[in-house]
Structures are given as structure tokens and as C-alpha cells.
Amino acid sequence: MPTYEPNTFLDPDGIAFNYGRLDKATTTGSGYQTLVEIGLVDKSVVLVEARIVGVEDGGGNAAAFILYACIRRNGAGALVQGSVGDAFSVKSDSHWNATIDTDGNNYRIRVDGYGAKVYWRVNTKIILRQSE
């Protein structure tokens, strides 16, 4: 599980139901690369908001994205994801992209800088509700 930021709110069972985190990464290859990967507890649903910015080494290209996804986990099974909403997308290189997807019991925030060396920062906000 992630390390929670100071604005984390915990329910009585100690599970975070509203929290944010700030992460950074550098990518160099083509294809999607993971910036953030977070596990989801059993019998729960999460609304993920990812605010992502990236700038190419040397400042040649830049991008900003705001993405939303609703992801749920039934029992101890794998995650089920609805479609990803793209609320905002500005990029100087049309090949750059960002997405939220799932991998087993984790959801991931991923980017593609199309082979350039890109410095990324992502602010992730999560609202979680677990079944009784």
C-alpha cells in the first residue's frame, strides 16, 4: 500500500478513504511506462484523479493531463475498471499520452513520452469506499 500524505482521511478501520500523493519519475523509452502503481483493498471502489505534467529534457516538448477513472474490486478478485475519462489534455507532441489502467490487484497511472527523456510529476487524489 502507498505511503499516505498529510491530507489523508482514515475511516475507523484505518483504511484511507480520501487521500492524495505526489510522485515524480523520468521515462526514456517508447510505450507506456508506469508512474504510480497502487493496490486496492477487497470489496471496494475507488475514484482516481490524476493530474500529470511532463517536460522533455531540454524543454523541447511538454504535456499536461487530467484523468479520472472508477475502479472496483469484488471480493478478493482482480480489479474491474470502467472507462478512463480525459478531462484535460494539452501536449506539444501529439504522440505523448497518459492513461489509468489495472494490473492484477493494482491500478496504475502510466505515460508515454514517445521515446524522449521526459521528467514527469503526478498528483493523485483518491476517494475510496469499502463494503461493510
- Residue 43 C-alpha cell reads as 470489496
Angstrom distance (rounded) from CA 103 to CA 38: 10
Q: Is the pLDDT reported for residue 2 higher than 50?
A: no
User: Is residue 54 packed enough to be buried (19+ CB in 10 Å), middle (13-18) or exposed (0-12)?
Assistant: buried
| Buried-exposed string 64-82: b where 16+ CB fall within 10 A, e elsewhere | ebbbbbbbbbeeeeebeee
State pLDDT tens for residues 52-108.
Answer: 999 999 999 999 999 999 999 887 777 888 778 888 999 999 999 999 999 988 899
| Check whether domain 9-130 has CATH 1.10.150, yes or no | no
Residue type, 65: F
Q: What is the pTM of this model?
A: 0.84
The full set of domain ranges for the chain reads 9-130
